[in-house]
A and B are shown apart, each in its own frame.
Chain A
Amino acid sequence: MRLGSVALKYATRSLTRHSRRTILSMVGTGIGCAMALVALSWMDGAIRMQVRAIAESGAGHIRMVHRNWPETQEDTLRLQGLEEVLATVAETPHLEHYSVRAHAKGLLAFGTRTAPAAITGVLPKHEMAANRILRRGALEGRYLEEDEEGAVVIGRTLARRLDVMLDDALYATLSGKDDIHSAMLRIVGILDTGSQELDLAVCHITLADMQEITGIPGAGEISLVLSEERHSAEAKAHLTETMPADNTVITWREVNPSLAANVDSDTAFMRLMALIVIVVVALGIMSAQLTAVLERRAEFAMLSALGMKTRQIVSMVMMEAVVIGLGGAVVALGVGGSVSYYLATRGMDLSRWLDDDLGFADVLFDPYLYGSFGVWLIGYALAIAMATTIFATLYPAWKAAQVMPADALRTTG
């Protein structure tokens, strides 16, 4: 249909016959698409927040490990060429923080009490910078200092289980490569994360102590926190290209497949919600367009009688949908864009729905949820509004093309 053609004039002017209905269709399309836009913006923000929380809780966006670790998850495996690896890591694009760790399973004892523990050897400054649980949790005492010997920070639940307090000395037994090793560790800090599960997992000593006690030199993993998850592929490519052999790079998804499944499930749910909104809007548009077509039954019959082909009639009705879709996209951008901009700049305070006490959500998640906002909204608004109206108008357009001229002209004439 050419610009300036009579068919185009017919299509566009037909929208002015019932201008109130046309405006309502545009507004309806716009509001529905705006809801979908806000849902997508919110979803994107929530997912980014979730992934950020996961990455800053120890997993990192990407992690370097020994190449056998993904299969065996063996704590005694160490990165090959640690010095070279650290040099490579420091040059990783979009890197914010990294933490260097080694893990060992062990048993902590105080008096007659014992508790199993997953003990982590860390570089304290890097760990504090990369791990939000340490930064946000309530720490009694202090965290580890660089090169500090014989010191340990444990979680509140572990402390309760062992019935210990600051400055108490724990007897730690750790599994080494070939043997069991033991050491005395003085408690310098007790961390309360608000989550018993997280508290149980906190048992930090310095990496130097870990190497000393277990007799295994080096580090088991380096977890990298990037500025955005979307840079993971670029960072991974850099590391893979430059790191020494026998090491590998894995993503947080491979480290925490169950969390990844949760994130995917949340994404799918939000998309389904957006889709339901769009389908409801589409049904509304379909109803309005069908009414518009049935009202003009005699005109479509006349067009057919004049020799207009099915394809041409369908195109003409679809052109009306395109105009409604464009109007809807403008409304969607106005409404959805404003709400998304508010969500992206001001955020939504989630703390009002959380308990006043320190809780798991306070430590792991940000109190404010920020949506996403960007040029992509324009493309999404256009795509959703156009796709919705065009899809919704397919049936009315087909109906218009199927009008039997003899029947329609007889009943109206």
Chain B
Amino acid sequence: MTATTDEVLVKAQNVTKVYHTDEVATHALRGITTEVTAGEFLAIVGPSGSGKTTLLNLIGALDAVTDGHLEVMGHNVARMSKRQRADMRLNQLGFVFQAYNLFPVLTAQENVEFVLELQGVTDNRTERAREALDQLGLLDFADRRPTQMSGGQQQRVAVARAIASRPRLVLADEPSANLDGENARILLDMMHELNEQAGITFVFSTHDPRVIAYARRVITLVDGKIDTDVVKEREAMAEQT
């Protein structure tokens, strides 16, 4: 098991997010204070509307905090320009979404290669993309388009795309929500292995007990607030998985 280090990747202090729709204010997050350190395998759980996805979007610099202080990779996100946020997402973060969000007109390999191209990788780009697919057991599907793959395979391509750019932190929003039991297990095993072997930090939002079982730390959100923040013992983890 990869031990977590003291390096703080995410630092949230009293983070608040309010959505305004037609003069109605919706408080998605109410004063979140927490930290994510390098090497963690962290699950954010809670019922629908508890603020899990919102918190991931804020950490991923996809959305802006309403109040409070949020640092990602040592940068105050609120002070970053649009271009700086894009650079951080490209070079230090990886994303996996519930709906896979692969590009249907590209093959699995091209989907993965796209990120590397955006990063400006020219040497061994194809090899790196294929290596990422291989890590997820998808090398035989490299030339297939998303519509020619199962949901589980598509989600593994999404993970390959997320890790190909060698990010420090992967944010996964309900990654197993559309997968059956077997595919969910395969996916989680692979992500767990990437965490263990490559030291990639994973933060999930989920309400899937299968995912929670894999997590070493579980933050529970209720009504936009942290209800519990539990770090599991190794023995308990082994029993659960």
Tell me whether A14 is interfacial, beta carbon within 8 Å: yes
Tell me whether B206 is interfacial, beta carbon within 8 Å: no
**In the assembled complex, which residues on chain A have CB atoms less than 8 Å from the CB atom of B86?**
304, 307-309
Q: Are B99 and A412 in contact (CB under 8 A)?
A: yes
CB distance from B176 to the nearest CB of A (A): 14
Other-chain contact of A307, B53, B90, B110 (Cβ < 8 Å): B90
* Closest chain B residue to A307, Cβ basis: B90
**In the assembled complex, which residues on chain B have CB atoms less than 8 Å from the CB atom of A310?**
82
Q: Give the number of chain B interface residues (Cβ < 8 Å).
A: 32
Q: Which of A398-413 contact B (CB under 8 A)?
A: 404-406, 409-410, 412-413
Tell me whether B222 is interfacial, beta carbon within 8 Å: no
Tell me whether B229 is interfacial, beta carbon within 8 Å: no
Tell me whether A10 is interfacial, beta carbon within 8 Å: yes
* Closest chain B residue to A302, Cβ basis: B101
Q: Are A10 and B105 in contact (CB under 8 A)?
A: yes
Q: Are A16 and B117 in contact (CB under 8 A)?
A: no
Tell me whether A298 is interfacial, beta carbon within 8 Å: yes
Query: Could you tell me the distance between the alpha carbons of A404 and B106 in the complex, rounded to whole angstroms?
Result: 23
Known: A10-B103, A406-B57, A413-B98. A312 touches B62 (CB 8 A): no
Q: Which of A357-413 contact B (CB under 8 A)?
A: 404-406, 409-410, 412-413
Main secondary structure of the interface of A (DSSP, over half): helix
Other-chain contact of A7, B89, B101, B117 (Cβ < 8 Å): B117
Known: A298-B101, A307-B118. A406 touches B63 (CB 8 A): yes
Contact pattern, B 150-186, Cβ under 8 Å of A = 1, otherwise 0:
0000000000010000000000011000000000000
Q: Are A306 and B97 in contact (CB under 8 A)?
A: no
Q: Are A13 and B106 in contact (CB under 8 A)?
A: yes
Tell me whether A305 is interfacial, beta carbon within 8 Å: yes
Q: Are A306 and B105 in contact (CB under 8 A)?
A: no
- In order of increasing CB-CB distance, the 4 nearest A-B pairs are A307-B90, A13-B105, A406-B63, A307-B89
A residues lining the B interface (CB < 8 Å): 5-7, 9-10, 13-14, 16-17, 298-299, 302, 304-310, 312, 404-406, 409-410, 412-413
